[in-house]
Structure 1
Amino acid sequence: MRDADDFAALAAESVRQVRESAERWRTGMAALVTLVTTALLLKGPEKAAELPVRWRLTLTIMLGFGLALAIAALWRALQAAAGEPGLVRAADIRARYVTIAAFRVAQAQRAAVQLKHARRLLIPALSLLAAGMLAWWWAPPAPAEALISIEYRPPGASGTVTACGELASADAQTAVVKQSGTSRPTKIPFAQIENMRVPATCP
């Protein structure tokens, strides 16, 4: 009878203890995920645009899966901490669990399983997020565009004109320069070119 009383007291406290533990785990998980994502945001989305396409794709996959697993882990921890709302009737409890103590044990066990799932999901989530963050820090920048400045004399012009921008091609005796701020590239026949140089930047 004493063991039965002790078990009943233990069962009555088990749900509360498991949910309090799940709440602490959920808070810690959220803090870790926030720490990692904050470190990612310090780089800024404009920094990601400067990376090569292959690196951007790799980071998107790693960070996307990492965030998805982190959200799933936090959701399972929230389920363990808050429980699942629903109407509880004595007849249903007796039909399925026989006693109230068994019902409480089942609730505690369900919360414990949900917390275990959350902890298992958190490990790969943080691993992917941390790996993505480190890869972002060490990823090489995208190669700089090859700039060229061409001085040429159009037909009938009294002086030379300068076209500065990215050299798109130089085929068929024609240089094609993509200049910033213009939608159409500038086509310059080789016969009109008087001088060419490679600038660091274009004015």
Structure 2
Amino acid sequence: MRKPRKVSDVVAKLGAALAREGAESSDFDLNPETVLPPNRKLRPAGVLIAVSINRPEPVVWLTKRASGLKHHPGQIAFPGGKQDPGDVDVVAAALREADEEIGLPRDLARVLGRMPAHETVTGFCVTPVVAVIETDFTPISEPGEVEETFAVPLAHLVNPNNYMVQSRRWRGARRYYFAVPYGPYYIWGATARMLRALAARMQP
């Protein structure tokens, strides 16, 4: 059966975006004065940019981390995490974590490709993995780690005009970062930076 044109167009646009050349990003992109140790060792991780395309409009699934977590409590993030010894690669890590965190069965996510890696202030080399979900999916948030799983229209996240540069004090210095708020959700930092990179690639 031929897929609806709208669905096919979304997959085609995402595929074309992933095929474009692009540089790696980092949490320090807007803070060029930061000097990073040349011999630093980054831990590999993968996050899933999961796009449901069988809805009236495509949406991206994001999570709000539980407030009781030691690292980044209450922040908005992609499902994903560090690559474990049992993971074949960062794609496998992203799919495994999405299964654990939001109840997304691995066989429901059709991986389209990877984006260039993103370095975080916490010492991770994060690879964003873009996948589409073509059937009905109802997330189940992992108790204790994910407070909420919610959907944001893809159109909102790939519109560069929705992004802003903001700042706050961090470790005694002013740190600048991207933010792309949506309703009650304040999407910022590494998550917003990776989404901003996708938005740039999606432009004609």
**TM-score scaled by structure 1?**
0.19
Structure with more of its chain in strand, by fraction: 2
Structure with more of its chain in helix, by fraction: 1
Q: Specify the structure having the higher radius of gyration (Cα).
A: 1
**TM-score scaled by structure 2?**
0.19
